[in-house]
C-alpha cells in the first residue's frame, strides 16, 4: 500500500509535483470505474482520489454533478466507493476517498475506518466537515492510521487557515478559487498566494485543486504546489467517449498528457481554463 507521504516524497525526489486524479465511484458504471482507476495509474497518476457521489454537493461543478447523478441512479454505495479505493491501492497508487460527511456518518465512523483501512486506503478528504466538529473523526482516523485532508480557500483568514491546516495530517487541499469544480479561471497569483500562506503554518504537502484540466495548467501549478488535483477533465473524457473501452483509453491518454506538466522547470504564460 502506497502512503500519501511516500507518494509526495517520490514526486519531490523527481523534481515534480504529485499528480492527483479524481473520478466518482460507480461512473459510468461499477465495472468501468475500476478500469478507469487502473488507466489513471498507468498514465502517471500517483494519488487517486475516489469520489463518493452525493446528492447535495457544495463544491462539485456541473460535470462532476452529472457523473454523480449517473452513479447514484445506479445505486452506488459507500461500500462500492471503498471497493474502488481497494483497486487504486492494488495498482500501487496512494488511494484516497473524497466524501461529504453524511455518507460516512450513516455508514458508521468506526465501521468506515475499519473497512477503509482494510481496503488499503491512505487518506480521506471531507470537504464539508469543519475541524471544530471533527473530534471523533480525528480520534478514529488516528487509531486506524488514516490521514485527514481538509480544505482551505482564498477567503480563509490566517487564523482559519492555521486551524484547518493543523487538523490535517495528510495534505492540505488548497481550493484555487472561490466556487465549484470545473469553473473557468486564469491560474495565477491567487493559488500561489494561498499555497504560500499555507506553507507558513504547516510542513505538510499542499495540493491545489478546482478546475485544473490541461497540461499547461498543471505545469503552472507544479512550480509552487506539492500536488495538482484534476477531476472534471477526467469526467469529461469519460462523458465524451463512445464506449467503456474508449473511456478507459481516453482517461489513460489524459493522465499521460497531464503528467508531462508535473515537472518543475520552465513555466508557460498563464492560460485560461478551469481548475478541478
Q: How far apart are CA 58 and CA 79, in angstroms?
A: 22
Catalytic-role residue among 29, 60, 91, 189:
60
Cis status, amide bond into 117, omega within 30 of 0? no
- Is-catalytic flag, 239? no
Q: What is the C-alpha separation between 182 and 265, in angstroms, rounded?
A: 26
Which of 105, 81, 104 lies closest to 33, judged by CA?
81
Instruction: From the candidates 6, 14, 31, 49, give the one annotated as an active-site residue.
Output: 49
Radius of gyration of the chain (CA): 17
- Is 60 noted as a catalytic residue in this protein? yes
Q: Contact, 207 vs 226, CB < 8 A?
A: yes
Interhelix angle 244-259/30-43, nearest 10 degrees: 30
How, if at all, do strands 272-274 and 184-186 pair?
Answer: antiparallel
Quote the CA–CA distance of 258 and 16 in Å, as a whole number. 12
Active site residues: 49, 60
Amino acid at each position: 500500500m502506497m502512503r500519501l507521504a511516500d507518494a509526495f516524497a517520490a514526486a519531490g525526489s523527481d523534481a515534480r509535483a504529485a499528480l492527483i486524479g479524481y473520478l466518482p465511484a460507480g461512473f459510468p458504471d461499477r465495472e468501468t470505474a475500476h478500469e478507469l482507476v487502473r488507466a489513471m495509474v498507468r498514465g502517471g497518476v500517483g494519488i487517486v482520489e475516489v469520489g463518493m457521489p452525493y446528492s447535495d454537493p457544495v463544491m462539485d461543478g456541473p460535470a462532476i454533478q452529472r457523473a454523480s447523478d449517473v452513479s447514484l441512479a445506479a445505486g452506488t454505495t459507500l461500500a462500492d466507493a471503498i471497493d474502488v479505493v481497494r483497486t487504486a491501492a492494488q495498482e500501487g497508487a496512494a488511494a484516497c476517498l473524497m466524501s461529504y460527511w453524511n455518507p460516512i456518518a450513516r455508514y458508521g465512523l468506526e465501521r468506515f475506518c475499519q473497512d477503509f483501512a482494510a481496503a488499503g486506503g491512505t487518506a480521506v478528504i471531507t470537504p464539508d466537515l469543519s475541524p471544530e466538529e471533527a473530534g471523533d473523526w480525528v480520534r478514529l482516523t488516528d487509531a486506524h492510521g488514516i490521514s485527514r485532508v481538509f480544505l482551505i480557500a482564498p477567503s480563509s483568514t490566517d487564523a482559519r487557515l492555521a486551524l484547518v491546516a493543523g487538523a490535517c495530517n495528510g495534505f492540505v487541499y488548497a481550493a484555487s478559487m472561490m466556487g465549484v469544480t470545473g469553473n473557468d479561471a486564469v491560474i495565477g497569483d491567487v493559488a500561489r498566494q494561498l499555497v504560500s500562506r499555507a506553507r507558513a503554518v504547516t510542513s505538510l504537502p499542499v495540493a491545489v485543486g478546482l478546475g485544473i484540466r490541461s497540461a499547461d495548467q498543471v505545469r503552472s501549478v507544479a512550480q509552487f504546489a506539492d500536488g495538482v488535483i484534476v477531476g472534471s477533465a477526467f469526467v469529461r473524457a469519460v462523458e465524451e467517449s463512445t464506449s467503456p473501452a474508449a473511456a478507459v483509453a481516453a482517461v489513460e491518454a489524459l493522465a499521460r498528457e497531464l503528467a508531462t506538466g508535473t515537472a518543475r522547470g520552465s513555466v508557460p504564460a498563464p492560460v485560461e481554463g478551469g481548475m478541478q
